[in-house]
Structure 1
Amino acid sequence: MNADKAAIRAKEQLSSLLSQLHQGARLPGERTLSEEFGVCRVTLRRAIEDFISDGRLERRARSGTYIKRPMISSEMRLKSFTEEIRARGQEPSSSLISFKKTNANISVSKLLGINRGDDIFQVTRLRLADQMPVALETLRIACSSIPNLTHEDLKGSIYDVFFNKFGIRIMSAKAGITAHNPSEKDRNLLQTSSKTPCLLIKMLDLDQFGKPVMTAECLYRSDLFELQIEVSATIKEARSQKVS
C-alpha cells in the first residue's frame, strides 16, 4: 500500500472509530490502533494530528488523546456554574481542593468591606462538566455574612447555599477578565497543557442590599470555555452617531 492510500485509509478508519465513541472518550494507544488499522504508527500519528487540527481530537498531558468535547459558551451575566452547565444538558460537579477559615489580608478586606484580620472562609474547588475539569475557582467569603459553611455546602452551587441557608441572594457582581498562564499545579488539576492559556475572571459578588459577600477568582480552560459579551451603544452615543 502506498503512502497516500495508507493515509486515506487511516483517516477513514479513525473517523469511523470516532463516530462510535462518546464525547470525551479516550482513544486506544497508537500501537493498538496502528495494528488494528493495518498502517504504520507514523501514518496513524499524522491522521490523529489532522483530527486535532480540525478540532475533533485533543491531547492531554500525560494522559492520552481524547475526543474533544464541545465548547462551553457562556454569556456574561450573573449565573452559577451549576446552573450554566445544567442548562447545557451536562452534569456539573465539584472536587474540593482546600477549605479553611483564615484571616483577611488588606486587599481582600477592602473588597469585602471588612477589617484586616477578620475571619473569612477560603475555598478552592475544581469545577467539572460531565467529569471533565473546566474551571478552578478560589472563593473568599466574609464570615460576618456567612457565619458557617460545611464540606457538604461546597458540593454544588454556592449561590444556592447563600440563599437557602442564609437568605442572602447575590444580585450583582463586579468582574474583570484577563488572560492567564496557569502554574504547573493548576495545569495538572485542569488537565491541560502548557500551551493552553486560561481565562481568569475575578468577581466581587454583592447581595440584595449591595453588600459585598464574596470574592471569586475563576480560572477557565480556554479550549473548553468561551465568554460571550453583548455590547450596545448608549442612547447618547446612538443619537450622536445619527447626527453625524
Structure 2
Amino acid sequence: MVRSMTGLSSASGLPVTTLDDPSKPKHAQLREILEELCTTKLSPGDMLPGERVLEETYGVSRITVRRAIGDLVASGVLKRARGKGTFVAPSPLVSRLHLASFSQEMEAQQLQSSSKILLSARATAPATIAEFFHSAATHTHLRRLRLGNGVPYAIDDAWYNSAFVPDLLENDVYNSVYAILGTEYNVPITDAIQTATAVNATSETAELLDVEPGTALLKIVRQSQSNGLPVEWCSSLYRTDRYTLKTHVTRAAL
C-alpha cells in the first residue's frame, strides 16, 4: 500500500500523502490512494475531484492521473459520465437466477429498494401476453422504475392476470408485488421462464435510467406462474453497470 494517510487536504478533501514508494510506478500509487478514498470516504455516485486537482495535490502529470483513473474505471470502481465528470460507481446488483423479487435482491445486497410508478392501469393486453394468460380480458398493466439507494437500476413493464389478481392496484405496488401476490391473493410465484437479451437504450429509457441513448441494456422477459397458474408477464430493462447475472453450470452427462 501507499504510505499511510496523514490527513485530508482542506481544499479538496483528498488524502494528504506522498507518492514516494520506489518499488511502484506513480500511477499505481495514485490508483491505490483513489481506490481507498472511494471505499472509505466517498459513496456511490459521489464525484471524484478533477484531474487538475489531483495533479496539484500529488505533484504528478496529467498522464499519470488519467492512467490511475482509467485503471479504476476498467475495474468498475469509477465510472465516467460524458460532460459531467468521474464518479464512484455503484456496486452491481447480482442475480443468481433464482426466483426472487427486485426488493429481495436489493435487500440481499444491503441496498434500499424503492419504485416510481410510470404507468398503472387496467387494459387489453398484447396478443402474446393474452395467450400466456389464456384470456383476452383486460388485465393489470404496471410499469415501474426500480431504484436502489435512490438511483435507477431497472424498468419493470409487467402485466398481471386479472383472473387471479383482479384488484392488484388497490395494494401498495410501490413495494414488492411478489409479496402481495403471495399474502393477499394466495398465488405466490413458484416458477418462471426467463429469456435474456441485449438491447440499446431508447431516448425514453435512457432518460429514465440516467444513461446515454444507445447504451447497452440487459432485457429479461419473465413468464411467471403460481403452481401452474399464469400470473405475471414482465419485461425488465437493467443497467448493465448495476446488474449482473451469475449462474452455476455443470457438465452435461454424455
TM-score, scaled relative to structure 1: 0.80
Per the alignment, residue 142 of structure 1 pairs with: 161
Cα distance change of structure 1 residues 232 and 11 upon mapping to structure 2, 3 Å threshold: closer
| Matched-pair contact (CA < 8 Å) for 2:223–2:233 | yes
Which of 37, 41, 51 does residue 21 from structure 1 map onto? 41
Q: Give the Cα separation in 2 of the matches to 1:194 and 1:40.
A: 35
Per the alignment, residue 147 of structure 2 pairs with: 128
Q: Deviations over 1:158-199 (max 9, x none)?
A: 111111221211111111111111212112211223464111
Q: Give the Cα separation in 2 of the matches to 1:12 and 1:182.
A: 34
Cα distance change of structure 1 residues 42 and 175 upon mapping to structure 2, 3 Å threshold: same
Q: CA deviation at 1:204?
A: 0.8
Q: Which amino acid in structure 2 is aligned with residue 75 of structure 1?
A: R
Normalized per residue, which structure has more helix? 1
Q: CA deviation at 1:39?
A: 6.2
Which of 186, 209, 223 does residue 241 from structure 2 map onto? 223
Cα distance change of structure 1 residues 19 and 218 upon mapping to structure 2, 3 Å threshold: closer
1:191 partnered with 2:246: no
Per the alignment, residue 67 of structure 1 pairs with: 88
Q: CA deviation at 1:229?
A: 2.3
1:106 partnered with 2:127: yes
Cα distance change of structure 1 residues 232 and 42 upon mapping to structure 2, 3 Å threshold: closer
Q: Give the Cα separation in 2 of the matches to 1:96 and 1:32.
A: 42
Q: Which amino acid in structure 1 is aligned with residue 123 of structure 2?
A: T
Q: Give the Cα separation in 2 of the matches to 1:39 and 1:146.
A: 64
Cα distance change of structure 1 residues 64 and 137 upon mapping to structure 2, 3 Å threshold: farther
Greater shift after overlay, 174-183 or 146-155?
Answer: 146-155
| Matched-pair contact (CA < 8 Å) for 1:136–1:220 | yes
Per the alignment, residue 58 of structure 1 pairs with: 79
Q: Give the Cα separation in 1 of the matches to 2:202 and 2:243.
A: 19
- Unpaired segments ≥5 residues, structure 1: none
Q: Which amino acid in structure 2 is aligned with residue 80 of structure 1?
A: S
Q: Deviations over 1:33-59 (max 9, x none)?
A: 358627699555554333212321002
Cα distance change of structure 1 residues 194 and 83 upon mapping to structure 2, 3 Å threshold: same
Q: CA deviation at 1:230?
A: 2.7
TM-score, scaled relative to structure 2: 0.77
* RMSD of equivalent CA atoms: 2.8
Cα distance change of structure 1 residues 152 and 67 upon mapping to structure 2, 3 Å threshold: farther
Equivalences, count: 229
